Amino acid sequence: MYFASRKAMLFITSVFLALLVTGFGFSSYQAAAFEKNNPNKGDLIDVGGYRMNSVYVPRPKSADLPTLVFIHGASTNLRDQMTAFRGKLEGRADMLFLDRPGLGFSDRGGPQNAYPDGQADAIAALMRKRGIKRAIIVSHSFGGAIAASFSLNHKDMVAGLLFLSPATHPWPGGIEWYYGAAKVPVFGWLFSTLVAPPVGMALIDKATKAVFEPNQRPDDYVEQTAAYLALRPRAFRNNAVDVANLLEYVKRVSPRYKEIRAPAVIITGDADRVVLPEIHSRQLHEDITGSTLLGIHNLGHKPDYTVTDLAIAAIETLAGKKRNLKQLAAQAQARIAGDKTE
């Protein structure tokens, strides 16, 4: 009986190890394929012992807007904001699109970069390396918490703030289970390596469409934004840690938002099921004296794509130009009134 049990255990162990090796091999192959199919188009710059990746678009002499710095949300990279804005703003401003620490092609850096204030410091260091002294900060979703922290800790570098569906305040409940799973030591590494890539590949089309709902996701969104890069094990786990840390962070920091003095515009939609506007955008508006809140009926979580022209008008307003944002918001709302999930 002892020898039979031992043989059974050896067999089970051998099968388990074989599955691990196969899983690691698949993940390594897939991560390499993601990067080969989506090569880095940015520049890696040392910001203090680790490198941040970014694309800098210089301003021509005819530019009519100040420098713009774009901070992307969770599970994405710099191409998300670059795809939405570059084509419509090129020639009007300097623009800096960046991969947040540990995402896209940026290094993770130290443990401080698992929190919004650490990432804000990293962005400030990158701006200095790029020779950018002051900018309008454009942020989406998770990037909103970073932009708020940036405004608190680097206020002299902020010319204005545009928050698009920001995640900035404590919310009831918790987070999706897989974020917590990916954060756990050892198990999280295994989960991010063995489970996330194949499951993510199967679900990415449906998941990205859900982020846009009830509005339509561009057909080429996944390809244009290199969304598959988020499924690489290291990027997946870094993103999960960011998200898992956010709730406790905003509980601690959000009471300081009343200190923000930069001009700010917040664009949100009442159909956003990713970041609830009543919890985040409305409270942020109440916290930042003089801010403008534009709530759009039937708008989901992606105003950067669905109402891009309104976002650009908000940037122009922050730059001192006269734009009737409420009228433009009403026009955008009328345009998407019939949007619905298929």
Is the predicted pLDDT of residue 27 greater than 50, yes or no? yes
Q: Looking at the structure, tell me whether residues 125 and 204 fall in a common domain.
A: yes
Give residue-wise pLDDT tens across range 280-312: 999 999 999 999 999 999 999 999 999 999 999
Question: Is 4 domain-assigned?
Answer: yes
What is the average per-residue pLDDT within 119-131? 98
3-state SS assignment for residue 225: coil
Question: Is 255 domain-assigned?
Answer: yes
Q: Looking at the structure, tell me whether residues 227 and 93 fall in a common domain.
A: yes
Distance CA 231, CA 244 (A): 17
Q: Looking at the structure, tell me whether residues 139 and 275 fall in a common domain.
A: yes
Q: What integer pLDDT is reported at residue 177 of this predicted model? A: 75
Is the predicted pLDDT of residue 340 greater than 90, yes or no? yes
Give residue-wise pLDDT tens across range 141-189: 999 999 999 999 999 999 999 999 999 999 998 777 778 777 888 777 7
Q: Looking at the structure, tell me whether residues 172 and 262 fall in a common domain.
A: yes
Q: What integer pLDDT is reported at residue 174 of this predicted model? A: 76
27 contacts: CB under 8 Å, gap ≥ 6:
193, 194, 197, 233
CB atoms within 10 A of CB 93: 22
Higher-pLDDT residue of 84 and 1 is: 84
Confidence of residue 6 (pLDDT cuts 50, 70, 90): low
Report yes or no: 271 and 299 within 8 Å, Cβ to Cβ. yes
Question: Is 342 domain-assigned?
Answer: no
Q: What b-and-e string marks burial along 314-324, b requiring 16 or more CB atoms within 10 Å of the CB? A: bbbbbbeeebe
Distance CA 314, CA 229 (A): 30
Higher-pLDDT residue of 36 and 45 is: 45
Give, in order, the Cα–Cα distances in Å from 244 to each of 74, 115, 174, 207. Answer: 11, 10, 9, 19
Q: Could you tell me the CATH number of the domain that includes residue 129? A: 3.40.50.1820
Q: What integer pLDDT is reported at residue 29 of this predicted model? A: 55
Percent of the chain residues topping a pLDDT of 90: 79
Question: Is 341 domain-assigned?
Answer: no
Q: Looking at the structure, tell me whether residues 165 and 301 fall in a common domain.
A: yes
Question: Is 141 domain-assigned?
Answer: yes
| pLDDT averaged over every residue in the chain | 91
Report yes or no: 137 and 153 within 8 Å, Cβ to Cβ. no
What is the average per-residue pLDDT within 228-246? 93
Is the predicted pLDDT of residue 4 greater than 60, yes or no? no
Question: Is 165 domain-assigned?
Answer: yes
Q: Looking at the structure, tell me whether residues 193 and 322 fall in a common domain.
A: yes
Is the predicted pLDDT of residue 77 greater than 60, yes or no? yes
Q: What integer pLDDT is reported at residue 13 of this predicted model? A: 45
Total count of domains within the chain: 2
Question: Is 110 domain-assigned?
Answer: yes
Specify the range with the lowest mean pLDDT, choosing from 27-41, 98-112, 142-156, 246-260: 27-41
Q: Looking at the structure, tell me whether residues 8 and 135 fall in a common domain.
A: no
What is the average per-residue pLDDT within 177-204? 80
Q: What integer pLDDT is reported at residue 7 of this predicted model? A: 54
Q: Looking at the structure, tell me whether residues 168 and 29 fall in a common domain.
A: no
Distance CA 324, CA 336 (A): 19
What is the average per-residue pLDDT within 124-146? 98
What is the average per-residue pLDDT within 220-234? 94
Is the predicted pLDDT of residue 206 greater than 90, yes or no? yes
Query: What's this model's pTM, rounded to 2 decimal places?
Result: 0.91
Report yes or no: 112 and 237 within 8 Å, Cβ to Cβ. no
Q: Looking at the structure, tell me whether residues 222 and 84 fall in a common domain.
A: yes
Q: What integer pLDDT is reported at residue 15 of this predicted model? A: 40
For residue 11, what are the domain limits? Answer: 1-37
Dihedral angle, C-alpha 323, 324, 329, 332, nearest 10 °: -70
Question: Is 59 domain-assigned?
Answer: yes
Q: Looking at the structure, tell me whether residues 53 and 14 fall in a common domain.
A: no
- The residue type of 120 is A
Q: Looking at the structure, tell me whether residues 217 and 267 fall in a common domain.
A: yes
Q: What integer pLDDT is reported at residue 12 of this predicted model? A: 46
Q: Looking at the structure, tell me whether residues 135 and 279 fall in a common domain.
A: yes
